[in-house]
Amino acid sequence: MNRDEIKKDLKNILSGKRYEHTLGVEYTSACLAMRYGADMEKARMAGLLHDCAKSLSSEEKLEYCKKFGMPVSEYERKNPELLHAKLGACFANTKYGISDPEILSAITWHTTGKPDMDLLDKIVFVADYMEPNRNQAPDLAEVRKLAFQNLDQCLFLILKDTIDYLAGKKSVTDPMTQRTYDYYEKELCSL
């Protein structure tokens, strides 16, 4: 599908708010790609599709994982919401015809991050958190400024705030979110 066809489909399957968020992540990913010299078209496409599996119920998510033969960790089984990222990459590939591994990787890791992310992974991760329609998260002004100054420091601040937020909700942090945090803590401290 081309971008217009993808947008039309997303408008149909996502709620109005989620669709607006999706467009926000598309634009913000494009801006960060301009700043850091990433491929802008890939950034836009990854931003556009990152939440394409978000509207499925938890049961449907688990069902599709089975269908795609996608392994589900113990933690994901308890928090199926997290699966929208990996499933999003499956749909980007099978339903929307995206085969570019960098785009699929950015969609896959947009919620938890992962250690040693590629530039496009980082861009979509950060854009998802700070796109203009977001207004709940702490430190948003600082995150938005830092995003254009130092992408790794920005990434680390988001991970820290996410882990603090989850601790406040008494939720357990996904092992991958924690590994990502630990990796970037080490990396930034060794500079």
Find which of Fe ion, ligand DGI, none residue 92 binds, CB within 5 to 8 Å per kind: none
DSSP the chain: --HHHHHHHHHHHS-HHHHHHHHHHHHHHHHHHHHHT--HHHHHHHHHHTTTTTTS-HHHHHHHHHHHT----HHHHH-GGGHHHHHHHHHHHHTT----HHHHHHHHTTTT--TT--HHHHHHHHHHHHSTT--SSTTHHHHHHHHTT-HHHHHHHHHHHHHHHHHHTTPPPPHHHHHHHHHHHHHHHT-
| Least spacing, CB of residue 191 vs Fe ion, in Å | 29
Binding characters for ligand DGI, 58-97, by CB under 6 A (x = yes): ---------------------x--x--x------------
Find which of ligand DGI, Fe ion, none residue 112 binds, CB within 5 to 8 Å per kind: ligand DGI
Residue 110 binds ligand DGI (CB under 6 A) = yes
Question: For residues 15-54, which are near ligand DGI according to CB under 6 A?
Answer: 21, 51, 54
Binding site for ligand DGI (CB under 6 A): 21, 51, 54, 79, 82, 85, 110-112, 128, 162, 166, 171, 173-174, 177
